[in-house]
Amino acid sequence: MNTNRTKLVAIIFFALPLLMLAIFKVTPTTTAAKAVDEPAVVYKAKCAACHTPGATKFYDPAKTDAEHVEIILKGKKGEKPPYMPGLLIKA
């Protein structure tokens, strides 16, 4: 009787959670995974409309890389609208 109870407890605490993980496994969508892996996809979707496909419009080469990253992530308010929104990527 004690052996059966031990087997039942082992099944409940070890096998059942593994089974639940296998059944309810959440996989990322291909679009989200592709966007994180390929910056060109993000640029075309969120930036190219204002900055042109070659990224030439409104680019300031005098700024450091750290300043560019901060502007891209937090956004920037320019002299007139449309203002640059921050880029939020959910991983």
> How many Cα atoms within 13 Å fall on the side-chain side of residue 67?
6
Looking at residue 29, its pLDDT comes to: 56
The pTM score is 0.46
Q: What is the C-alpha to C-alpha distance for residues 85 and 76, in angstroms, rounded to an integer?
A: 7
Looking at residue 52, its pLDDT comes to: 75
Is the peptide bond between 61 and the residue preceding it cis, with omega within 30 degrees of 0? no
Q: Where are the alpha helices (DSSP H) in the chain?
A: 2-10, 16-23, 30-37, 39-46, 48-51, 65-74
Looking at residue 36, its pLDDT comes to: 59
Mean pLDDT, consecutive 10-residue stretches, the chain (91 aa), reads 81 78 69 62 80 71 87 83 74 48
Looking at residue 27, its pLDDT comes to: 64
